[in-house]
Amino acid sequence: MITGGVSYFLEAWRERKELKKSRRLVAAELVTLRDQLDVLEAAESTPKIAPSEWRDEFLPTRIWERESAALALGLSDADWLAVQDVYGAVTPLKLELLTRDAASALERAFVDQVIEIREMAAAAAMLLVRPTR
């Protein structure tokens, strides 16, 4: 009986630590997204290098892809949707950028979309790093 209780406690503790790790890693990636979107807005143009050179590093989603399952289990529905919405918006934005020439000007509507996603990323990062119970 005691062994079962200890095992349960240890497993719950491990799951909390894993969730905390996932929250921190994805929050850091969201901050990177926010910062890169800020640069994109300020430049009002696509990156000045060929898309093949920035495809993997600009507007990254690798950490989200790796950690999203843990977050799906541990976040509230509202927090999950806030984070998922950012990545759902970043992916088509990045795909659109990949079709454009290097250093090409961005239309005002596109820049407005960048601003909106940047604000979403900043808010989602804050949700993930706020203290939990």
| pTM for the full predicted model | 0.89
8 A C-beta contact, residue 88 and residue 121: no
Phi-psi region of 39 (alpha: psi -120 to 50; beta: other; left: phi over 0): alpha
Distance CA 29, CA 17 (A): 19
Domains and CATH numbers, the chain: 2-129 (1.20.120)
Q: Looking at residues 1-24, what average pLDDT do you find? A: 77
| Better-scored residue on pLDDT, 24 or 53 | 24
Mean pLDDT of the chain: 91
**Range 28-38 burial, b when 16+ CB lie within 10 A, else e:** ebbbbbbebbe
